[in-house]
Amino acid sequence: MTLDGLATASLVGALIVLVSVIGVRLAGRLGVPGLLLYLLLGLILGSTFPGLHMSNAELATVLGYAALILILAQGGLTTRMDDLRPVMWPAITLASVGVLVSIAVVAIPLVLWLDVPVQSAIILGAVLAATDAAAVFSVMRRLRLSTRVRTLLEAEAGFNDAPVVVIVVVVATGAFTEASWWQVPLLVVVELIGGAVVGVVVGFSGRWLLPRLALPAVGLYPIAALALLVGAYGLADLLHTSGFLAVYIAAILIGSAPRLPHRRSIIGFADGLAWIAEIGLFFMLGALADVGSLLTALPLALLVSALILLIARPLAAVVSLVPYRARGSTVAFTSIAGLRGAVPIVFAAIPLGLGVPGARLVFDVTLIATLVLMVVQVPLIRVAGRRLGVVRPLQVAELQVESAPLDGMNGQVLGVEVPGESGLVGTFVSEVGLPTGAVVSLVVRGEHAEVPDANTRIRAGDRLLIVTTEEARSAAEARLRVLARHGRLAGWLEGPRPRG
């Protein structure tokens, strides 16, 4: 590419991103996810302007993997370990047993009824068994779902990429016809265990390293955190284990670290990168499609969509969740809410890049089925969530605590924003009752800051600056969260007792 070409590409890229960002608001008003608009934009521009058409499926797969790493990193960083722990095994079961059930329900009818080649049928069933992290994170976090249901669906989306990509690669390369029946499942299990181990190692390493760096600029902490997560993928892949699982687990562990410095900056940086990755990914996949061949794939795509909506997803939810005695409302909502998006299309590009016979049909069917499922499911889950009672009423927001290390002083500075509905509102500073070693040193109110005394009352919108020793930090945060949830003197025995 020449310098003149760089200028043109920069201008076109900037316009596409701006249109996509503006489209998010339009999509919200229309009741569809903005991700759908990005995909349609790629389809339209790719077919209208030949220069924007993506013809290299192998390159698209590589770029798709890179985007998925960033999306999974953001999703993991914003998932609290305390929320994940109660639903971890149901989510893992959905991401494994549920995937196998979905593959079987889709592939068997295609082979028996329509004489679709076994290889193509299994690949098609596998790629559409994967729920999409970007779509799930984007849609579910706007619905005010119960924490348990939302975390279950998000964890499933984070976990199921790993087994699906292994299955697709094994089937696309033809290895499943040469191996014994037990070798492919064993390979999947080994890769997943290896990826989980790498994720745990990198995650705990990041929890230990980041609070001790004391970097000279706040902007370096997000870069360091993302470098660790991208490195987790690279290390896992070099060891021939699941890189996607390693990234997601490492991100959960780092994001849940109680002493993660500049948490808001790290999550904000990851969130911005994930949005860019989603926009670029959906646009690229739309541009990769051949609009002329989509009509041929339409009947098969509609059949596959019906199989997934009416049989595969509900059966996967029942088989995966009933053994854990999940509530009927949770099972019913999970049956509806398995959102597809860019992930199935990225995985469908793998056989296309390898030149597998029938790969173009698999890609086209996957693209159309993704569009159909997204259009049908997103409005449906909004209605179902309310009727099934899994949409929670407005609740007190979780207290956000930002921290930064004090280099060489064995101390931390905590920044606490007080939302309007917090129980901290109306509390006197003298009633906060922080443990020895922690003190409210400054109250920022609007554009003014004041050093508080015993008569300073906390108001909605205040920002508190708390200086604490390392030893007192956990107790100080615990006390603040108790007050934020229960009010001025509620939960007095749950939190640390006041000094004096």
Residue ranges of domains in the chain: 16-388, 401-486
Can you tell me the distance from the alpha carbon of 56 to that of 117, in angstroms, rounded to the nearest whole number?
A: 25
pTM (global) more than 0.85? no
Predicted confidence band at 168 (pLDDT cuts at 50, 70, 90)?
A: very high
For 450, residues 6+ apart whose C-beta sits below 8 A from its C-beta are 442, 443, 456
For 481, residues 6+ apart whose C-beta sits below 8 A from its C-beta are 399
> Token digits for 159?
């976990």
pLDDT tens for residues 227-259?
Answer: 999 999 999 999 999 999 999 999 999 999 888
CB 105 within 8 A of CB 282: no
> Token digits for 107?
């592939």
Output the DSSP codes for 180-236. Answer: -TTHHHHHHHHHHHHHHHHHHHHHHHHHHHGGG---SSTTHHHHHHHHHHHHHHHHH
Give the residues across from 414 on adjacent strands.
Answer: 403, 466
Give phi and psi for 442, each to the nearest 5: -155, 140
Among all chains, which residue has been given the structure tokens 């809410």? 337
Least confident piece of the model among 117-131, 285-299, 367-381, 406-420: 406-420
Query: Are domains 16-388 and 401-486 of this chain identical in fold?
Result: no
Can you tell me the distance from the alpha carbon of 416 to that of 402, in angstroms, rounded to the nearest whole number?
A: 6
Choose among 309, 357, 373: nearest CA to 335: 309
Choose among 171, 134, 170: nearest CA to 154: 134
- CATH superfamily for 401-486 is Regulator of K+ conductance, C-terminal domain (3.30.70.1450)
The segment with the largest mean pLDDT, out of 75-84, 302-311, 406-415, 473-482, is: 302-311
User: What is 16-388's CATH topology?
Assistant: Na+/H+ antiporter like fold (1.20.1530)
pLDDT tens for residues 128-155?
Answer: 999 988 788 878 877 778 888 989 999 9
